[in-house]
Amino acid sequence: MRSSESYLQIVGRRFRRNRLAVSGSVIILLLFALALLAPVLSRYDPAVIDVNNILSAPSWEHWMGTDESGRDVMSRMIYGARISMLVGFVAVGIATFIGILFGAVAGYYGGRIDAVIMRFVDIMLCFPTFFLILAVIAILEPGLMNIMIVIGVTGWMGVARLVRAEFLSLKEQEYVQAARAFGSSDLRIIFRHLLPNAMAPVLVSATFGIAGAILTESALSFFGLGVQPPTPSWGNILGSGYKYIDFAHWLSVFPGLAILITALGYNLLGEGLRDALDPRLEGSQ
């Protein structure tokens, strides 16, 4: 290790040496560019129906073919990237916020407060997450906003456990004792001293969580309980395409590959961040 390097420089050097992590980062950056430039990159309006080109095979005119309504699949795939990125980040943002709140309170105060919160976490973990989401969506109206909220509200338990564990180990450190001695409030100690030092595992967990949220949204949209047509989503493109898989395989292949590559990219990025942020690897890099 170079003694003049800062912590962020060490993390960055470790991350750049991990080729799989860099590959994951490139995939995610390309997806972001695709989502941001969707109006520029799309050759057709993703909602326009063309009865003269129903279920057309991939060609120079329609690079990924058309669907059962004659809509250009490539344009719908590009706009579907926006939905996936939005669902992933908003849902994980909600889950991370709730998890940090509960985990910080439980880890910092301990005692009965910790016991009550962690028993609540255990109760939530008893329910299979996907079936819990299905039950809530069955009550609410299917839609993008409801999907993001439900995925976030049902996915915070792992973050809460991570934050609690970090707080339990950090709150007895000397700098925290010094802050208490100087009369710092609990809120200042939690948000100024403890939380910044507990964010590394949360960041890694959030990266994996985005991949999970995208997969969950795709599964719900596949079953018709997620993003509703004509709004394009990889899940509902796949859901409408499986009925024609015998003679229109492109409707299943392209969204399936998009979901696979996106989940792979986020998982590679999460693995790379976990390795780069692990201080035990400091001497081996």
Mean pLDDT of the chain: 88
> Phi-psi bin for 62: left (phi > 0), alpha (psi -120 to 50), beta?
beta
DSSP string, 61-77: SSTT-B-TTS-BHHHHH
Angle between helices 73-109 and 144-153 (to 10 degrees): 30
Average pLDDT for 190-196: 87
Dist CA 18 CA 199 (whole Å): 21
Q: What is the pTM of this model?
A: 0.88
Residue 21 has pLDDT above 70, yes or no: yes
pLDDT digits (tens, 9 = 90+) for 115-149: 999 999 999 888 887 888 888 877 877 788 888 99
Query: Percent of the chain, pLDDT > 70?
Result: 95
Q: Which helix (H) or strand (E) holds 239?
A: helix 234-241
Using CA atoms in the order 174, 12, 160, 220, what is the torsion angle rounded to 10 degrees? 180
Average pLDDT for 47-70: 90
Residue 1 has pLDDT above 70, yes or no: no
Provide the pLDDT for residue 2. Answer: 54
DSSP-based helix, strand, coil % in the chain, nearest 5? 75, 0, 25
Provide the pLDDT for residue 285. Answer: 47
Q: How far apart are the first and last CA of the chain?
A: 7
pLDDT digits (tens, 9 = 90+) for 68-114: 889 999 999 999 999 999 999 999 999 999 999 999 999 999 889 99
In the chain the domains, ranked by start, together with CATH numbers, are 24-40+71-281 (1.10.3720.10)
Dist CA 86 CA 76 (whole Å): 15
Dist CA 67 CA 71 (whole Å): 6
pLDDT digits (tens, 9 = 90+) for 153-185: 989 999 999 999 999 988 888 888 888 888 888
Residue 15 has pLDDT above 90, yes or no: no
Provide the pLDDT for residue 4. Answer: 62
